Copies of this chain bind each other. A is one copy, B any other.
Amino acid sequence: MDSQRLVQKFLTSQVSEKSLQIAKAALFDYLTVSLAAQSLETEQLKTAYKEQLEGTSLLIGEKGLATKAFSALHNGFRAHLLDLDDTHSSVRGHPSAVLFSALLTELPYHSGKAFLASYVIGLEIMARLGMAVNPDHYLQGWHNTSTLGGLAAAGALAYLKQMTVDQTLHSMSIAASQAAGLQMQFGTPIKPLHAGLAAKQAVEAVAMAQAGLAAEKDFLFADRGFRAVYAPKLNVAPLLEDWGKSWQVNQPGLWVKSYPFCSAAMSGADAAEYLHQKEGLREDEIAGVEVLFFKGRDQALKNRQPKTGEEGRFSIEYIVWLGLTGQEYSLDAFSSKALSSALRRQLLKVQRTYQEGSSDEPFVTVTVNLTDGRKLSQQVTYPKGSPRNPLTEKERRKKFTTYVRGPWAKPLEEKIKRMEQEEGDSLFSFLQTINGGKTDGRTCD
């Protein structure tokens, strides 16, 4: 039974020192984007779950504690709310928002090192699942962040809690029976909710399996199981081969975002910004814009005519226009405020074109036709923040200081730096003291 072989492989894996260091950087980024995301929507979510605002699990950036289930939901939602959180090309989705949010519910009972190792394992499962099911699963319309995230987070929790093979299989099977999340929600708050739902499903699935509920164990390959229904073309090899040889958190590595929009837009955004910086373009000079993608690579960018900045997170038209005209990719530019009709008319100038075939290094090319007849063009393969063009240490710190302010900001940095030497309850207690989160562009200072 291949589901069992997968579980045996990851439960017995030892992660490398290098991968632990990357996990720490990922946690730092996760907390950065989560603390930045205090907003109307996080308040709405708390209202909906007011019955679960008592418990022992933390809500990032909030004073109170909550049930484990709501903690996972809230933290996952918040981590992905601004679309500033990391992504991974094997997953085709957002791993840290789901994985850390599920694992945080167990943090107090484990060492910092075990926590980080469990994240590495969870990411490995999620990335290998991605390699096994992509691109078909994603192209069908599933939001991989949640469909793969719930399974991976259940596995990560099982690793952290040193569960048996059978309990792990039951947990992941219960998670498989909740795998959901539709791409139609991209551009609405339900997209980030999917990250929270996956984390919550994992926490609940593990609790049910540990309480004794039994599920179909071969969750991936059973008749009418995960493969049959979600990914008929699933390729089993990437799930089982070469465990421990290298770690997906490092190779190919995480994409760490500088800007709050869909990662599929990052290359185009960089190209547009570069053209503006080089040429100092003004709106009235731009006659038309072409953005060239490899076919299917703009699938997530579903909004060609966004009505709000929030919808603009999934619009290459909006993002490229901002970049070309020298406007900042700020939180404010991607808020739920309506875009002006003048701006929306300008977006009609931006067209998408497509290149047939595929590439291991899919580039995006932005071409601007100027009113004076000139044509400017910029191609980007590795946008800033992608594994081949990573943020420097200084840039990561800049992201932190841009989005997170408060007396606890500095101590938090120190705490994460030392994390492999810490006990989990100490970081947990510290995270509890971080509240208010009055740092969001939408609600505050």
The chain A residues found within 8 Å of chain B, CB to CB, are 40-41, 44-45, 47-49, 51-52, 54-56, 67-69, 140-143, 173-174, 176-185, 187-190, 193-194, 197, 204, 207-208, 210-216, 218-219, 222-226, 228-229, 302
Question: In the complex, what distance in Å separates the CA atom of A55 from the CA atom of B55?
Answer: 13
**What residues of B have a CB within 8 angstroms of the CB of A179 in the complex?**
180
A-B pairs with the 3 shortest C-beta distances?
A: A141-B224, A183-B224, A48-B207
- Determine whether the beta carbon of B211 is less than 8 Å from that of A44: yes
- Determine whether the beta carbon of A185 is less than 8 Å from that of B193: no
**What residues of B have a CB within 8 angstroms of the CB of A215 in the complex?**
185, 188-190
- Determine whether the beta carbon of A52 is less than 8 Å from that of B52: yes
- Determine whether the beta carbon of B216 is less than 8 Å from that of A48: no
**What residues of B have a CB within 8 angstroms of the CB of A213 in the complex?**
41, 44-45, 48, 189-190, 193
**What residues of B have a CB within 8 angstroms of the CB of A47 in the complex?**
211-212
Question: In the complex, what distance in Å separates the CA atom of A159 from the CA atom of B210?
Answer: 37
Q: Please name 20 further chain A to chain B contacts, defined as beta carbons within 8 Å, in addition to the given A52-B67, A177-B180, A188-B215, sorted by A numbering.
A: A44-B211, A45-B211, A45-B213, A47-B211, A48-B210, A51-B68, A52-B52, A52-B69, A54-B54, A173-B185, A177-B184, A177-B185, A182-B216, A182-B225, A184-B228, A185-B216, A187-B216, A190-B213, A190-B214, A190-B216
Question: In the complex, what distance in Å separates the CA atom of A185 from the CA atom of B183?
Answer: 26
Answer whether A211 and B180 are a contact pair too, CB < 8 Å, given A142-B229, A302-B223. no
- Determine whether the beta carbon of A214 is less than 8 Å from that of B229: no
Question: In the complex, what distance in Å separates the CA atom of A178 from the CA atom of B178?
Answer: 7
- Determine whether the beta carbon of B178 is less than 8 Å from that of A226: no
- Determine whether the beta carbon of B51 is less than 8 Å from that of A69: yes
**What residues of B have a CB within 8 angstroms of the CB of A140 in the complex?**
228-229
Tell me the smallest distance from the CB of A386 to a CB of chain B, in Å: 25
- Determine whether the beta carbon of B214 is less than 8 Å from that of A189: yes
In the complex, the chain B residue whose C-beta lies closest to that of A207 is B48
In the complex, the chain B residue whose C-beta lies closest to that of A77 is B213
**What residues of B have a CB within 8 angstroms of the CB of A189 in the complex?**
213-215
Q: How many copies altogether?
A: 2
**What residues of B have a CB within 8 angstroms of the CB of A225 in the complex?**
141, 182, 184
Answer whether A207 and B49 are a contact pair too, CB < 8 Å, given A184-B223, A189-B213, A216-B185. yes
Question: In the complex, what distance in Å separates the CA atom of A222 from the CA atom of B182?
Answer: 10
| Of the residues B143, B177, B185, B207, contact of A194 by C-beta under 8 Å | B177
The interface centre, meaning the residue of A51, A56, A184, A216 with most chain B CB atoms within 10 A of its CB, is A184
**What residues of B have a CB within 8 angstroms of the CB of A190 in the complex?**
173-174, 177, 213-216
Tell me the smallest distance from the CB of A316 to a CB of chain B, in Å: 16
- Determine whether the beta carbon of A40 is less than 8 Å from that of B212: yes
- Determine whether the beta carbon of A182 is less than 8 Å from that of B229: yes
Question: In the complex, what distance in Å separates the CA atom of A213 from the CA atom of B81?
Answer: 12
In the complex, the chain B residue whose C-beta lies closest to that of A190 is B215
**What residues of B have a CB within 8 angstroms of the CB of A49 in the complex?**
204, 207
- Determine whether the beta carbon of A228 is less than 8 Å from that of B188: no
**What residues of B have a CB within 8 angstroms of the CB of A56 in the complex?**
51
**What residues of B have a CB within 8 angstroms of the CB of A176 in the complex?**
182
Question: In the complex, what distance in Å separates the CA atom of A64 from the CA atom of B42?
Answer: 30
**What residues of B have a CB within 8 angstroms of the CB of A183 in the complex?**
224
- Determine whether the beta carbon of A216 is less than 8 Å from that of B229: no
- Determine whether the beta carbon of B55 is less than 8 Å from that of A182: no
In the complex, the chain B residue whose C-beta lies closest to that of A175 is B180
**What residues of B have a CB within 8 angstroms of the CB of A223 in the complex?**
184, 302
**What residues of B have a CB within 8 angstroms of the CB of A188 in the complex?**
214-216
| Of the residues B48, B51, B207, B302, contact of A208 by C-beta under 8 Å | B48
**What residues of B have a CB within 8 angstroms of the CB of A48 in the complex?**
204, 207-208, 210-211, 213
**What residues of B have a CB within 8 angstroms of the CB of A180 in the complex?**
177-180
| Of the residues B174, B181, B187, B210, contact of A193 by C-beta under 8 Å | B174
**What residues of B have a CB within 8 angstroms of the CB of A141 in the complex?**
224-225, 228-229
Question: In the complex, what distance in Å separates the CA atom of A180 from the CA atom of B194?
Answer: 13
- Determine whether the beta carbon of A182 is less than 8 Å from that of B212: no
A-B contact pairs, 8 of them (CB 8 A): A48-B211, A51-B68, A52-B52, A178-B180, A182-B216, A184-B222, A184-B226, A184-B228
Question: In the complex, what distance in Å separates the CA atom of A194 from the CA atom of B55?
Answer: 26
